[in-house]
Structure 1
Amino acid sequence: MEFLKTCVLRRKACTMVCFRRSQAVPKPSVRKISTTSPRNTVMPAWVIDKYGKNEVLRFTQDMMIPIIHYPNEVIIKVHAASVNPIDVNMRSGYGAAALNMKRDPLHIKAKGEEFPLTLGRDVSGVVMECGLDVKYFKPGDEVWAAVPPWKQGTLSEFVVVSGNEVSHKPKSLTHTQAASLPYVALTAWSAINKVGGLNDNNCTGKRVLILGASGGVGTFAIQVMKAWDAHVTAVCSQDASELVRKLGADDIIDYKSGNVEEQLKSLKRFDFILDNVGGSTETWALNFLKKWSGATYVTLVTPFLLNVDRLGIADGMLQTGVTVGSKTLKHFWQGVHYRWAFFMPSGPYLDDIAKLVDAGKIQPVIEKTFPFSKVPEAFLKVERGHARGKTVINVI
């Protein structure tokens, strides 16, 4: 409810959006009868029945078509989806303990298992059915969304999502293009805007460093920071330098050509660092922030899900809290802010991102597309790493 109130207050200038979001409070045990219900009861999908390597991916034509259980839900016919690193990690069991805690018991078998589990976070498609409380969408609307990792995914013919997670697709994009953006865009938006506190009113002239700049999150982050008139330094490999320069990066550091720390020493210090890499970067990256000026380092690589997998829910959350608390305090006394950021599903944030897209300030960066029949190949490509944008699946 607090999240919902915040969304409404921030968007009070737009009556229509406020009205839409105010309708999104779940009310259990209410079902909406479809006005455009699919005739079949089963659909094609890519699922897993256990965690493991790529061979656990299984194509089926007998996955049950999702139905609406709550009046704020929407069923989308999937036109395009994409594969993110989190999908590869989830295939292998990453975060299962924490995610099962969040999963809706209505979508889990009585024996308590999440299988068969459909992966895929991004969707661009057409609304097929709306719950009774959904007023902002109607059947036939072209929409896009990022589905939270605790819900059934988008590598299927249909997917059900909360109306508050959906947004009207940017008019300037095809479904294939639109499916490349939601998950990475919302992850970057969370880090930059919601955690980092940057926006189009306070970014002009700010010096920003993006570590891991050529992947999906990095390529979006470059563009949104340039749309807000920041000065962007991108760290990537030499073969990705042309891409990130075209997206607007002012300075480019090739991490393969020498020690990144040494290369950064020749540049002025930064107001904001976005870290998509993690690992050893934390040991030196914060040294390149401006001290005692409100400069902030935000990392998207956190041990929360790993801690819960390894230690259990209670001990994992405790360990995570101790870790983030100690690091935050340590760096605060050194004159900089240390923060963690996570993906946040949000239709209102996608509304804002869609405006930037349709204004020509954000463009999708797609490295490769695959047909629906080649989902395992798409997973292998993402698993190899070194992304130059997104990997998209054309479902229809």
Structure 2
Amino acid sequence: MATPTTTPATMRAVQYDACGGGAAGLKHVEVPVPSAKKNEVLLKLQAATINPVDWKIQKGDLRPLLPRRLPFIPVTDVAGVVVDVGPGVKGVTVGDQVVAMLNSFNGGGLAEYAVASANLTVKRPAEVSAAEGAGLPIAAGTALQALRSIGAKFDGTGKPLNVLVTAASGGVGLYAVQLAKLANLHVTATCGARNMDLVKSLGADEVMDYRTPEGASLQSPSGRKYDGVVHCTVGVSWSFFQPLLSDAGRVIDITPNLSAILTSALHRVTFSKKRLVPLLLSPNKADLEFLVGLLKEGKLKTVIDSKFPLSDAGKLVLPKNLHTDSGGEYLDVIIQTSHLCVCLLG
């Protein structure tokens, strides 16, 4: 086992003591640096992405499941350098630059140090920046698994399917468009007017402004039926999608509610060819390694929009509180369209 580097006894972090308090409920605190236990690594963080689930947890939308206990340091998607390894860890050593997904129950990403499972920690090559890598675990992982659920393959053996990506300028959507093109799929996408050029630049074949009648209809401008839909938004019913699908088309719902789960169960028991499929991310090391490799090869990109200082990091857990001051603080927050990153620039 490699010799751990010297770490301080305490670290800076952003946490909240109760759910639903908004920006006012988040506190900048000094807390003990955690320690790596069996099959864990201690990371000095360089970047951490804030996902929509993070502010849902803060609002209390996922109680009583998350957060498991308070006070809670939010965020799970991180990049950093390994400064210590616990017993049983193989494949990563002290000094390695890595991308990791922290345990959802424990969080810990809005801090200077965090503990990650070695099973969800992968090496980050020099070609991939910390901010780029930190965007991957939830957003790109969800996009990848959604596309595989539709039937996309990334080894050149897949069929040329037609897919729709809704909310394509969001965190999952931006990755889904790129990954779909890598799988040789025809991509129709919806987003706001200001992001249409961005989504086109990432490879989408057809892009529609969701605020227009044409975009709201979700119909392919070229008349194609969809073999799959990566549904990244809310408020669209199964009955609306059904006539847009091919005979065996699937809608992959990445934010499923009870109605979606019940509809999916009905489709299974009735052996329906057209199906609604709720998707909850199943994090795994192989997917994360695959995605990091695509970034290294320049086949995938993380879209980074702007930066924020540590003094505003707490406000960014709720999107409506975004602040644009980008002063010279040690910890910066990076926003990717509707996807947020905290970048520790040590």
* TM-score bracket for this pair, using the shorter chain length: 0.7 to 0.9
Instruction: Indicate the structure with greater helix content.
Output: 1
Question: Offset of 1:74 from its aligned partner?
Answer: 1.0
2:301 maps to a residue whose letter is: Q
Q: Is 1:56 matched up with 2:25?
A: yes
Q: Give the stretch that moved more between structures: 222-231 or 164-173.
A: 164-173
Q: What is the distance in 1 between the residues matched to 2:77 and 2:102? A: 6
Q: Does structure 1 retain, via aligned residues, the 8 Å contact 2:208–2:214?
A: no
Matches within 5 A, 1:31-50: 35-36=3-4, 38-50=6-18
**Residue of 124, 139, 142 corresponding to 2:94:** 139
Q: Does structure 2 retain, via aligned residues, the 8 Å contact 1:146–1:182?
A: yes
Matches within 5 A, 1:357-376: 357-376=295-314
Question: Offset of 1:301 from its aligned partner?
Answer: 1.3
Q: Is 1:288 matched up with 2:244?
A: yes
Aligned residues: 330
Matches within 5 A, 1:232-271: 232-260=187-215, 262=217, 264=219, 266=221, 267-271=223-227
SS in 1 for 2:93: coil
Question: 1:150-170 CA distances to partner (integer Å, 9 max, x unpaired)?
Answer: 122200011111111111124
Q: What is the distance in 2 between the residues matched to 1:80 and 1:387? A: 13
Q: Does structure 2 retain, via aligned residues, the 8 Å contact 1:155–1:395?
A: no
Question: Offset of 1:323 from its aligned partner?
Answer: 5.2
Q: Give the stretch that moved more between structures: 386-395 or 357-366.
A: 386-395
Q: Indicate the residue corresponding to 1:223 in structure 2.
A: 178
Question: Offset of 1:43 from its aligned partner?
Answer: 1.0
Q: What is the distance in 1 between the residues matched to 2:188 and 2:297? A: 24
Matches within 5 A, 1:1-396: 35-36=3-4, 38-52=6-20, 53-61=22-30, 63-69=31-37, 71-99=38-66, 114-193=69-148, 195-200=149-154, 201-260=156-215, 262=217, 264=219, 266=221, 267-291=223-247, 294-303=248-257, 322=262, 324-329=264-269, 332-333=271-272, 335-381=273-319, 388=337, 390-396=339-345
1:182 maps to a residue whose letter is: P
Question: Offset of 1:255 from its aligned partner?
Answer: 1.0
The percent of aligned pairs where both chains have the same amino acid is 26
Q: Does structure 1 retain, via aligned residues, the 8 Å contact 2:163–2:185?
A: yes
Which runs of 5 or more structure 1 residues have no equivalent in the other structure?
A: 1-31, 104-113, 305-318
Q: Does structure 1 retain, via aligned residues, the 8 Å contact 2:103–2:117?
A: no
Q: What is the distance in 2 between the residues matched to 1:90 and 1:181? A: 20
Q: What is the distance in 1 between the residues matched to 2:338 and 2:66? A: 26
2:65 maps to a residue whose letter is: A
Question: 1:230-251 CA distances to partner (integer Å, 9 max, x unpaired)?
Answer: 1110011111100000000000
> Any runs of at least 4 consecutive aligned residues in structure 1 with deviations exceeding 3 A, and if so which?
201-204, 259-263, 319-324, 327-330, 380-384
Give the TM-score, by structure 1 length. Answer: 0.77
Q: Does structure 2 retain, via aligned residues, the 8 Å contact 1:44–1:59?
A: yes
Q: Does structure 2 retain, via aligned residues, the 8 Å contact 1:368–1:391?
A: no
Give the TM-score, by structure 2 length. Answer: 0.87
2:19 maps to a residue whose letter is: Y
Question: 1:179-205 CA distances to partner (integer Å, 9 max, x unpaired)?
Answer: 222220112122222x33421244452
Q: What is the distance in 2 between the residues matched to 1:238 and 1:218? A: 15
SS in 2 for 1:339: strand
1:298 maps to a residue whose letter is: I
Q: What is the distance in 1 between the residues matched to 2:213 and 2:111? A: 44
Question: Offset of 1:371 from its aligned partner?
Answer: 2.4
Q: Structure 1 pair 176/387, CA: closer, same or farther in 2 (3 Å)?
A: closer
Q: Does structure 2 retain, via aligned residues, the 8 Å contact 1:88–1:382?
A: no
1:391 maps to a residue whose letter is: L
Which runs of 5 or more structure 2 residues have no equivalent in the other structure?
A: 323-334
Q: What is the distance in 2 between the residues matched to 1:60 and 1:289? A: 51
Q: What is the distance in 1 between the residues matched to 2:239 and 2:125? A: 40
Question: Offset of 1:86 from its aligned partner?
Answer: 1.0
Q: What is the distance in 2 between the residues matched to 1:383 and 1:300? A: 24
Instruction: Indicate the structure with greater strand content.
Output: 2
Q: Does structure 1 retain, via aligned residues, the 8 Å contact 2:178–2:203?
A: yes
Question: Offset of 1:82 from its aligned partner?
Answer: 1.8
